[in-house]
Structure 1
């Protein structure tokens, strides 16, 4: 009786555990990225995001002013406190860059050329040198800094040079690259689903075969073709590139949905004298809206987050950069891979796709299940 429709499976607990596991598996790195987007670069380098609520031990360098040196017997001595302001605590200290934490607070560090350095936990220090001090010596120490969260990373991204232009360019690329393949694929899907002509089965097989062809194989030949026809690296070129790469999935998805539409409606319309174009525009297209919305979500997310195609088919000047290229080549490139900038940029770049997804997600499952049942 376990296989009767409507009965509850005894393995339901396994399904629930699997779903929870997958959700947690995707949620953990997302939370880590969100936390990192509010931290500064030094704290991200020192500890993982899961330790962000706790103090971070970091190494610092303090300069001692040589003008404060006084003669005390056989030594020139500098005394003071390494903390410029506020309360802090020295965990370890050292007199060289190669060993910044070699000594504990209160110990006397014997340095080269008969110099010595003593640092207390509260930052008080005594530096001795048998020779006259002409250059400012350095004190290296480690100290626990409180957790720091700010919006600096987001300010850097939002108000950096030409980021507004990159945001507009992203819309300029994404909207046509989503609409054009939908229009072409809708006509092609209707023809493959409801029109009888020679070679239809071969064309369907070709569409399915193109789904597994990596787009990287076509980048260079397609760019050469674009240069030959005169569109080269331009917005028109990237629109056509995204259209070509997105058409196989669009045709496959829409064709499967249109095949599942009631045949009686279409045949009745043709009996009443409707042409194929009228059937397509007045009946099939409105009924196929869930599948159209489903593909629009996929295409929009893919084009919005694309980096490879944008770098190949757009001009290299900064006025034509989209957000992904701006972040990768400018923000990260000029800062040596700042993870805080990268994390903040990731959340800013997904804001618009999230709005699109949650607006149209009710059509996603209906479109994906298109043609699975009669």
Structure 2
């Protein structure tokens, strides 16, 4: 393809194709989770989301009505019903044992104990016929192989959104996330300005120590920090988790903001000092307005990290019903075995609503903040 400046190089096509592939790799799993969250839980358990628009094969177990409900028709007592119990599907075979759920063809008679017979039609209607008046007892179990049409439902979201305690957990998460995002930004902004534009002994060593803290796993400090909090009386409290997230987020925040502020034009800072401005005035009136893209970038990262956190919240808040965060509530709703896929997929989208709103509200500053300092102003 030709352009005003000549033919487009092959590298441009490689870049474009790579970007498309990366976007697909990120969006395809998310789309799959969305489709899964709207599927019927029984179909979701036996087939992948890519089969959502096709009929699915399924083995199910139904139980006929109790024998005493049989009505006399001619010389036999008969029970009727439908194996789908108000649902829909097409029976491909049935049986009276779990070992062979398709032992009999549709419409074929299966012999039961006591001379009774069982017949199942393609639409799921069954007929149990007794030679004489049956004795009271449990209904006959019917094993069915069926093909069901695609089913979509909002019941998964209703189960998650209206679960007990979800509203309280949402408020707890907001209570944790907002201060844990604002506090480290305030502290890091002051520290970054000092490391970028103020001369004092040991500045290089302090910066090296901050960079070194970036590679320290936070898991190493959870238990010692919790013991310290319990000693001073702030264990299992919101103050404790605010301070914990602040400490864990400060090294990255200071590093990012310092690099951005160091790349700002020196002439502006020097002119302000010549005019008699103090460091605090330079920081408040010049540095902060120019550093807003970097501040917004870190705010996005910190908000997403704290909002989706479960480990730190479990350690510093516990599983108290009054202090349980959203991720903890959804974990309790999912259960210990983690087999409820319909709850897991719906919970994923419920949990990302607020982070998505925050991201789109501040995304225009994200790239500017991440690329800050790559080109130094003149």
TM-score by length of 2: 0.89
Give the distance between the partners of 1:364 and 1:297, measured in 2 at CA: 8
Moved more, 197-206 or 141-150: 141-150
Contact 1:69 1:133 in 2 (8 A): no
Residues 172-321 of structure 1 correspond to what in structure 2 (within 5 A)?
172-321=175-324
Partners of 2:66 and 2:136 within 8 A in 1:
no
User: How big is the shift at 1:213?
Assistant: 1.4
Work out the CA distance in 2 between the residues paired with 1:107 and 1:336.
40
Distance 1:197 1:209 in 2: 20
Note closer, same or farther for the CA distance 1:86–1:164 as it changes in structure 2 (3 Å cut): closer
Deviates more, 1:197-206 or 1:337-346: 337-346
**1:126-161 deviations in whole A, cap 9, x for unaligned?**
456799544222212122333222221222222221
In the alignment, which residue of structure 2 is the partner of 1:360? 362
Q: 1:6 to 1:160 in 2, by over 3 A?
A: farther
**CA distance in 1 between partners of 2:203 and 2:9 (Å):** 42
User: Displacement, 1:6?
Assistant: 11
Match of 1:100 in 2: 101
Q: Give secondary structure in 1 for the equivalent of 2:92.
A: strand
Q: Report if the CA contact (8 A) 1:60-1:142 is conserved.
A: no
Cα distance in 2 between the residues matched to 1:145 and 1:335: 27
Change in CA separation of 1:86 and 1:286 when aligned onto 2, cut-off 3 Å? closer
Which has the higher mean CA deviation after the structures are superposed, 284-293 or 100-109?
100-109
Relative to structure 2, which stretch is displaced further, 54-63 or 167-176? 54-63
Deviates more, 1:118-127 or 1:161-170: 118-127
Give the conservation status (yes or no) of the 8 Å contact 1:64–1:138: no
Q: Structure 1 33/327 Cα, relative in aligned 2: closer, same or farther at 3 Å?
A: same
Choose from 338, 341, 344 the match for 2:340.
338
Pick closer, same or farther for the CA change 1:198–1:102 going to 2, 3 Å: farther
- Structure 1 Cα separation of the partners of residues 159 and 11 of structure 2: 50
Sort the Cα spacing of 1:95 and 1:233 in 2 relative to 1 into closer, same or farther, 3 A: same
**Counterparts in 2 of 1:278 and 1:149: CA distance versus 1, 3 Å:** same
Secondary structure, aligned partner of 1:198: coil
Displacement of 1:242 in angstroms is 0.5
SS in 2 for 1:325: helix
Rounded to whole Å, the distance in 2 between the matches of 1:252 and 1:271 is 28
Greater mean deviation of Cα atoms: 284-293 or 251-260: 284-293
The CA distance in 2 between the partners of 1:333 and 1:126, in whole Å, is 39
**Structure 1 residue 343, shift from structure 2 partner:** 1.3
- CA-based RMSD of the aligned residues comes to 2.6
Q: 1:280 Cα deviation (Å)?
A: 1.1
- Report the Cα offset of residue 105 of structure 1: 1.7
Deviates more, 1:81-90 or 1:17-26: 81-90
Deviations 1:316-372 (A, max 9, x none): 21111111111012x112895321122112112111111111111111111111111
Between the aligned partners of 1:354 and 1:148, the Cα distance in structure 2 is 28
Contact kept in structure 2, 1:62 and 1:82, CA below 8 Å: no
Q: Deviations over 1:5-45 (max 9, x none)?
A: 99954311111111111111111111111111112311111
Q: Unmatched 5+ residue regions in structure 2? A: none
- 2:22: which partner in 1? 22
Deviation per residue, 1:156-186 (Å, 9 max, x gap): 2222212111111111101000000001101
Mapped partners of 2:343, 2:146: distance in 1: 25
Alpha-carbon distance between aligned partners in 1 of 2:350 and 2:208, rounded to the nearest angstrom = 40
Q: Which runs of 5+ in 1 are unaligned?
A: none
**What does residue 62 of structure 1 align with?**
63
Q: Determine if contact 2:88/2:148 at 8 Å carries over to the other structure.
A: no
- Between the aligned partners of 2:34 and 2:209, the Cα distance in structure 1 is 42
Taking structure 1 as reference, are residues 175 and 16 closer, same or farther at Cα in structure 2, changes over 3 Å only? same
2:335 match: secondary structure: helix
Distance in 2, matches of 1:6 and 1:226, equals 66
